[in-house]
């Protein structure tokens, strides 16, 4: 993008090289085995991208949504599953602690998370509460100088490998009485339940978390009791923006694969690229990808400039994953039988992208948020 700073361009090249060497060669195998590229994840700490939005005081980079989305796009081209785990660690755990934790909590947890010595996860969804995030039932009850937490969390990315869990609980009767805690695995403060076997993002470990009468010291609470609804909504904005970067990377990977295939594959005595229908398909895919890139990074820039709000984040989250699923399906169609086989990465990219239409808020929830805010803004103008 024309407005990238020199630092952002350097980050882009760093991540592009890393993805080519450390993610792409292993993506198919990890998808097949449902295994985690832990070696690459640790190296992300070595190159300094795990703490992309964290304060340099704790070892972070101190950059914003634009930089984080650059990482998502470049990694997402190579291995969306590893990128999803990166998002859960860097945006859902590190960024949440950076934004909401006390100075003592940040000093304690961030350095090891940023170097990759520790892996983080965030626990919000539950077996009966996904889109209805404010309906969660995991209960935290204050008992003198500690809390007792009971409940089960579901679909938690990185949970099987997590050392630290940033968890949302209910602490009062009101629907908005939510309180967050930072839990430590080595202290037995959470247990990993059954593994979740998924259609896509199979190289990103996912499981349930079980909390059975867990005793949590009060100093593990993040902020004041009942104060976490605003924390949740604020971090959802940057989560929705950056997860859209994974979809953008998938779209670009599909375009690149189609261009290469159209120039190499021959049918009826000439390469596919000579056929007008194939030209139409690649032209539309490439154009749609550039449109998405401009839209997403403009929202990133506005976010970094302080123009934050749920509407634009919901718009990119609605538009990009849905459009990229179409692009991935078109790419499969262009490749014919090869596209449908595992010999090419397209079927994996399509499966991986479908998660982005569900995680961080479904398409349907994004529609509700956008419509509600637009109608409210119009009503205020009429008053």
Per-residue pLDDT reduced to its tens digit, 211-267: 999 999 999 999 999 999 999 999 999 999 999 999 999 999 999 999 999 999 999
For residue 174, pLDDT beyond 90: no
Which region among 24-33, 154-163, 168-177 has the lowest average model confidence (pLDDT)? 168-177
**What's the average model confidence in pLDDT over 29-35?**
98
Cα 290 to Cα 286: distance, rounded to the nearest angstrom = 6
| Confidence tier at 175 by pLDDT (50, 70, 90) | confident
Q: Which pLDDT value is given to residue 54? A: 98
Instruction: Point out the catalytic residue in the list 74, 208, 239, 347.
Output: 239
**What's the average model confidence in pLDDT over 121-134?**
92
Cα 362 to Cα 372: distance, rounded to the nearest angstrom = 15
**What's the average model confidence in pLDDT over 166-177?**
91
Q: What is the DSSP string of 156-186?
A: EETGGG-SEEEEEEE-SSSTT-EEEEEEEGG
To the query of whether residue 73 is one of the catalytic residues in this protein, the response is no
Per-residue pLDDT reduced to its tens digit, 137-152: 999 999 999 999 999 9
Q: Which pLDDT value is given to residue 67? A: 98
Cα 306 to Cα 56: distance, rounded to the nearest angstrom = 20
For residue 341, pLDDT beyond 90: yes
Q: Which two tokens stand for residue 281?
A: 């398909």
Locate tokens 């969804």: which residue?
125
Domains and CATH numbers, the chain: 6-119 (1.10.540.10), 122-228 (2.40.110.10), 235-375 (1.20.140.10)
Q: Which residues contact 153 (CB under 8 A, 6 or more apart)?
A: 123, 124, 125, 126, 138, 159, 167, 208, 209, 211
Indicate whether this model's pTM tops 0.95. Answer: yes
| Confidence tier at 120 by pLDDT (50, 70, 90) | very high
Cα 24 to Cα 199: distance, rounded to the nearest angstrom = 19
3-state DSSP assignment of residue 154: strand
Share of the chain above pLDDT 70, in %: 100
| Confidence tier at 133 by pLDDT (50, 70, 90) | confident
């Amino acid at each position: 993008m024309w407005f990238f700073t020199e630092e952002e361009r350097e980050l882009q090249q760093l991540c592009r090289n890393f993805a080519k060497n450390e993610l792409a060669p292993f993506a198919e195998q990890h998808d097949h085995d449902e295994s985690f590229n832990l070696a690459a994840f640790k190296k992300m700490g070595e190159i300094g991208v795990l703490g992309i939005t964290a304060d340099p005081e704790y070892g972070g980079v101190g950059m914003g949504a634009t930089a984080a989305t650059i990482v998502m796009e470049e990694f997402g081209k190579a291995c969306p599953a590893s990128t999803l785990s990166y998002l859960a660690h860097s945006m859902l755990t590190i960024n949440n602690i950076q934004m909401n934790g006390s100075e003592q909590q940040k000093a304690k947890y961030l350095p090891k998370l940023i170097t990759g010595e520790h892996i983080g996860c965030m626990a919000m969804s539950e077996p009966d509460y996904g889109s209805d995030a404010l309906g969660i039932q995991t209960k935290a009850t204050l008992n003198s100088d500690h809390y007792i937490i009971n409940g089960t969390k579901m679909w938690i990315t990185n949970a099987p490998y997590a050392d630290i869990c940033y968890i949302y609980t209910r602490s009062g009767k009101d629907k908005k009485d939510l309180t967050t805690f930072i839990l430590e695995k080595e202290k037995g403060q959470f247990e990993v339940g059954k593994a979740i076997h998924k259609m896509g993002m199979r190289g990103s470990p996912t499981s349930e978390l079980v909390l059975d009468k867990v005793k949590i010291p009060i100093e593990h609470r993040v902020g004041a009791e009942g104060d976490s609804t605003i924390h949740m909504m604020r971090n959802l904005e940057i989560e929705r923006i950056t997860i859209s970067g994974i979809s953008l990377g998938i779209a670009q990977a599909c375009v690149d694969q189609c261009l290469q295939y159209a120039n190499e594959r021959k049918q009826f005595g000439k390469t596919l690229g000579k056929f007008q229908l194939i030209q139409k398909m690649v032209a539309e895919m490439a154009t749609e990808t550039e449109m998405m890139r401009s839209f997403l990074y403009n929202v990133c820039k506005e976010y970094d400039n302080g123009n934050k709000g749920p509407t634009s984040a919901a718009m990119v989250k609605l538009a990009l994953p849905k459009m990229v699923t179409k692009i991935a399906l078109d790419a499969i169609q262009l490749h014919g039988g090869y596209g449908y086989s595992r010999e090419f990465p397209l079927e994996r990219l399509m499966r991986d992208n479908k998660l982005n239409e569900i995680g961080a808020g479904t398409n349907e929830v994004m529609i509700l948020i956008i419509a509600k805010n637009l109608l409210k803004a119009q009503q205020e103008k009429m008053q």
